[in-house]
Amino acid sequence: MRKKSVFVLILICSVSFAFGQNREKIDINEGWRFFRYENNPDSLIYDERPAVFDKNDVKDADTRATLQNHGNASNKSLKMYILPTANEFIKDKNKHYERPDGNPGKDFPFVKNDFNDSNWQYIDLPHDWAIDKPFYTEENAIVGGGMGRLPVQGVAWYRRKIDIPKSDSGKEIYLDIDGAMSYAMVWLNGNLVGGWPYGYNSFRLNLTPFVNFEGDNQLAIRLDNPTNSSRWYPGAGIYRNVWLVKISPVHVAHWGTFIKTENISEKSATITISIDIDNNSTKNQDVEILTDIYRLDNNLKISGNKVATFPKQNIVIEAREKSKIRNTVNIKNPLLWGVYPQQEQNMYLAVNRLFINNKLIDTYETRFGIRDIKFDAKEGLLINGEKIRIQGVNQHHDLGALGAAFNLRAAERQLEMLRELGCNAIRLAHNPPAPELLELTDRMGFLVIDEIFDCWEKGKNPLDFHLIFPDWYEADIRAFIRRDKNHPSIIAWSFGNEVGEQYTDESGAAVAWKLAALVKDEDSTRPTTASMNFAKPDMPFPQTMDIISLNYQGEGIRDAAAYSHLKGIRTPPLYPAFHQKFPDKMIVSSETASALSSRGTYFFPVFAGNSAPVSEGSGGNDTLRQVSAYELYTSPFGSSADKVFAMQDNHPFVAGEFVWTGWDHLGEPTPYYSSRSSYCGIIDLAGFKKDRFYLYQSRWRPELPTVHILPHWNWESRTGQITPVHIFTSGDEAELFLNGKSLGKKKKDKFEYRLRWDSVVYEPGILKAVAYKDGKQWAIHEVKTTGIPVKIALSADRNVIDADGKDISFVTVRILDSDGNLVPNADNKIWFEISGTGEIVATDNGNPADMILFASKERSAFGGLALVIIRGKKGKEGEMKLTARSERLDSGSVIISSR
């Protein structure tokens, strides 16, 4: 018998980010000037790009990636001046790039200190230049549905002066950019410093050689966002935070610590820290290193005295060189980090202090957690000895009506709703997130698969990042892992999603092996993976990863009768085949379902089976561009939740799933590419729950008394017609009543996840579902035929927010009848106005086909609901009053305080 192996991960945790007085990290998000061209007028190109002849982005998400054109650097390109930024992350020094002579761009007006930018737009970062603009609604638009129909294209410049006083002379000055979309190039005082093309990675530039230590310094940042460069909405601009860092020439390197834990028991845990130290001074330095560990409270603040101290170390570092040290200490009675809700999210802080001649020169802090993770081919995922079923979702990086500009509260709200759903894991599709998102997943107890690439050498769009992959893959991977490797929430690294190299046998596997080796070189403690929607067990591609990640193949792709007429990848359910081929590797479904629906929208007749592709007359309405919310309809390659659940329950060795997707996202609007956003979320773009929310909640939170009826019961035109009623419940049986008359009691059969009454004849009144569990009443839900809309009601998710210009409140707008019932088919147009200390940032309603710009203060309700996002003005304490008005309806208002 073959011996079962268990991949063990015992770890770790969060990013270094807070500093002592000898190290300054300064937020420079405020006070930028912004200017955008739709085309490229300045000729300061990163590289020549291939011509695009096919701009059509209407294609299934599982279309094979085949494009392979990397272009050639021309004498106009700045590529060779930007590539040296990657040297820090290229291990073989013989492969480092040497910067050519010269200073390209020095004569361009926008980089000069004396250029007058007073007529440019005044903005604060993070900034997404496209999100508040009108959608392209015409056919053959310059930006199509795949990229969200928003004006992301063009060249943009950001300028800001930074004051660096003479007292900083002798320090090193760095610019840290957490994310800029895309092809970022940076000038300081007219000097080209460097840049980073991949818009999702964070990066650092050394400004020191170009700094004027007498006062004002002019930063100029150029971005270049091409069309046909993404399969989803990429955002546009400097859409994450930007920092100025001032440190001693001898310091802990950027992302320079790595903390591992092992030998974990109730009594103790062994902590090993690796510290990279840079000596950028002109002489050898004798450095003393002291490191202490503290506990953190729930707000990630130091709680009490230090709990451990590493042995003191001394090291001599040669001039202009780097050095790595390792040190070990034991912590008594460790408090473990674990997944919510079964476990607690305990965190620690390691504080490194560097001394030269007894003088403190640098302080560096790293948050981390102590946890024991095992990946077992039969049992699945075990955390701190407890089996944890992965109940995950995929998440894109946009924040709905806020676009790609990162906002901490908006991201927290998304995670709060996912936690209510019963979700315990996030796969970051398909790129590194804002660093603050991982701070949230640490604090809130989510498991994370952190992902880096959607394509490698073979592209999916003519101008996507396959163009830069050969030059940047090593730097991108190493930077990605170094930034994130200390987060306890991250359990695995994914180095690819549905890449074209799946199709190319040994040559594709060779690329995968190369990338996997880079990941392991940076972090050998976590498993590697890459998701597969095509590669089969007998191919070389799946051999390259520690975890088998299957996109849709577990439950089968286009294998059911309802999908038989479709073209594309077709495969039977492959959980057993992969398990047989790789008996020592854990299997997880990295993408499941891709079910589609429009919240509160229902079409008839209803499919009699459990899964079918959307088409006109079968779950879809091409005129309305909506998908029926009976939650049975899917993308061409997808499956309903019901089918996925059955396949996973039939194969209990599967560790769990990541549903495609948790929230709707901008772009990728399958099946209607004239829309603005996706239909696949369990929660819509505005943050309103679809019916599918309760189907997943019933499965993922079986202890929560849940019963949910669909559809709504406002069907005046269907009186006397069959109108199927379905029930989602965490109970095991339910009885349905219409106007007090029982329509029968039904019990879930094995591998059945909804209860169906498909012959109900509509009559207005009250539908009532009574669910039972183990023979006892469990939960009750009623759906009523409502009256006509008469009034508007507003409610805020938070009635008190910070007056910092960043904090926001999400206000739900409901259209109600005279009895206070939500009118589920109301679509009244609503006008919004605000007074006092706040401003309206955006409005939405969750309708993928609504092409009114997000910045509009007018919005029609969709399914009786709309959303207004409110922000407090910076420094303005007091009250703001939001009022909503509509013709023939009583207005509504809500008061929010800022402090």
Short-list 483, 492, 543, 560, CA closest to 520 = 492
Is residue 386 annotated as part of the catalytic site, yes or no?
no
Short-list 814, 831, 806, 834, CA closest to 885 = 831
Short-list 354, 369, 363, CA closest to 447 = 369
Burial of 844 (0-12, 13-18, 19+ CB in 10 A): buried
The span from the CA of 247 to the CA of 715, in Å, is 67
Q: Which two tokens stand for residue 130?
A: 């496209």
The span from the CA of 242 to the CA of 255, in Å, is 16
**Residue labelled with tokens 């820090």:** 88
Q: What's the residue count for the chain?
A: 899
Q: Tally DSSP H helices, then E strands, for the chain.
A: 8, 50
| 3-class secondary-structure state, position 408 | helix
Is the Cβ–Cβ distance between 658 and 588 less than 8 Å?
yes
Short-list 384, 375, 374, 389, CA closest to 701 = 389
| 712 backbone φψ class: left, alpha, beta (φ>0; ψ -120 to 50) | beta
Task: Count other Cβ atoms within 10 Å, centred on residue 747.
Answer: 11
Residues 6+ apart with CB under 8 A from 265: none
Is the Cβ–Cβ distance between 868 and 838 less than 8 Å?
no
The DSSP secondary structure of 291-320, one letter per residue, reads EEEEEE-TTS-EEEEEEEEPPPEEEEE-TT
Q: 60 to each of 462, 594, 641, 673, how far by Cα in Å? A: 16, 12, 20, 10
Inter-axis angle of helices 435-444 and 408-421, to 10 degrees?
A: 40
Q: What residues form DSSP beta bridges with 860?
A: 829
The span from the CA of 896 to the CA of 253, in Å, is 44
Pick the catalytic residue from 522, 591, 631, 668. 591
| 3-class secondary-structure state, position 655 | coil
Is the Cβ–Cβ distance between 455 and 408 less than 8 Å?
no
Q: How much helix, strand and coil, in percent to the nearest 5, is found in the chain? A: 15, 40, 45
The span from the CA of 584 to the CA of 827, in Å, is 54
Residues 6+ apart with CB under 8 A from 298: 345, 443
Short-list 34, 805, 803, 842, CA closest to 399 = 842
Pairing type for strands 800-801 and 808-816 reads unpaired
Q: What's the order of all strands across the beta sheet hosting 615-616? A: 615-616, 619-621, 626-627
Short-list 824, 867, 881, CA closest to 399 = 867
The span from the CA of 325 to the CA of 273, in Å, is 8
Q: What angle do CA 860, 866, 872 make, to 5 degrees?
A: 120
The span from the CA of 309 to the CA of 294, in Å, is 9
Pick the catalytic residue from 88, 498, 501, 668. 498
DSSP letter at 561 equals: G
Is residue 763 annotated as part of the catalytic site, yes or no?
no
Residues with catalytic roles: 498, 591
